[in-house]
Amino acid sequence: MKPRNARLLLSLALFGLLAACGGENTKPTPPQAVRPATPVKPVKIGVALGGGAAKGFAHIGVIKMLEANGFEPVVVSGTSAGSVVGALYASGMNAFDMQQKAVALDEASIRDLRLFSGGLIQGQKLQDYVNTQVGNKPAEQLRKPFAAVATQLETGDRAVFVRGNVGQAVRASSSIPGVFEPVSIGGKTYVDGGVVSPVPVDAARQLGAEFVIAVDISSRASGQRPSGLLGAVNQSITIMGQRLGEQELGRADVVIRPAVLDIGAADFEQRGRAILEGEKAAMAAMPQIRAGIARLQQAQTAAIRTAEARTSAAQAEAHQRCQDSRTRIEKLRGVEKNCSAPAR
């Protein structure tokens, strides 16, 4: 073999050896595999407990059935009677604890008439009772996020109390005009939250609830012509509250209506029946609650999968751009760049 040919063959062999070594030392690095879908987090359930005086005992029955079926609310909002039950529940009591409190409740312990103010209830006893039950903790230290909704009398604006004195907030939320004295807080005057928000669905959303279960125990128009001037006024107020409440209830995921409309505002003797009606109404709503939560979880799963698919496609595209950026010699030698994406 001629020396020139021998040198040529030797050069080709060395080049091939170098190419083989380079390819072996820099193996292709595929895009990082997308992690399996993260399990869907539990849906944040909120309850919006409406006002209704003694009918409010029905809220206890509703909460009892929600807990029994695995749908424990994690945020609570309440108006008037709903704020009383809501505060106790947010403090850490379960439905059975609240039922025991309700059975043992002496009406005199929360009613303090003031003769010089026309026989109105002052509300201080109610405030003290609630604060005692929640361990005198401010709202921001309760176990569950809690909001009590009241109405600012000077402006008619909705007031949502989520911090500070729980009993005072409940007292303001429960100050039914003509029955309770208005409450002064921070130089402003507050009355019953039912004037602007009979069932506080929006407040529950503001607390972070993803699925809101509203409990409506508010009065309805009787369907009969009222007798006398006072009857006409009461019927008119009921109709206004009914129309106002319908708008906010439309923003709830599920509305539960216990059959307690015939229970009087001060009929504490009917507390046992009200609790039972709350249980019955909640059980009747369970299929709707399960279906609604399942739809929400499916939507969350679909959103996660879409996001992961986009991430995977973006990683593949970035990997290809990285490989396309190789020099001509690297491509001829079959050298793959290390284009691994950083760990997430």
Active site residue 192: yes
Is 117 in a helix, a strand, or coil? helix
Q: In sequence order, what are the beta bridge partners of 159?
A: 150
Sorted by sequence, the CB contacts under 8 Å of residue 244 that are 6+ apart come out as: 196, 197, 198
Asked if residues 71 and 44 have their Cβ atoms less than 8 Å apart, the reply is no
Give 255-306 as a DSSP string: EE--S-TTS-TT-GGGHHHHHHHHHHHHHHHHHHHHHHHHHHHHHHHHHHHH
d(CA 148, CA 171): 9
Judge whether 97 counts as a catalytic residue: no
Name residue 46's amino acid: G
Instruction: Give phi and psi for 57, each to the nearest 5.
Output: -60, -20
Q: Is there a contact between 62 and 47 (Cβ–Cβ < 8 Å)?
A: yes
CA separation for the pair 243, 146 (Å, rounded) = 26
Residue 125 near residue 110 (C-beta atoms within 8 A): yes
* CA–CA dist 14, 8 (Å, integer): 10
Interhelix angle 95-104/81-90, nearest 10 degrees: 130
Residue 250 is classified by DSSP as: T
Which one from 83, 91, 175, 192 is the annotated catalytic residue?
192
> 39: buried, middle or exposed (CB in 10 Å: 19+, 13-18, 0-12)?
exposed
Contacts (Cβ under 8 Å, ≥6 apart) of 170 = 78, 83, 84, 87, 126, 127, 130, 148
Question: Cα 88–148–121 angle (5° rounding)?
Answer: 85
Catalytic positions, please?
Answer: 80, 192
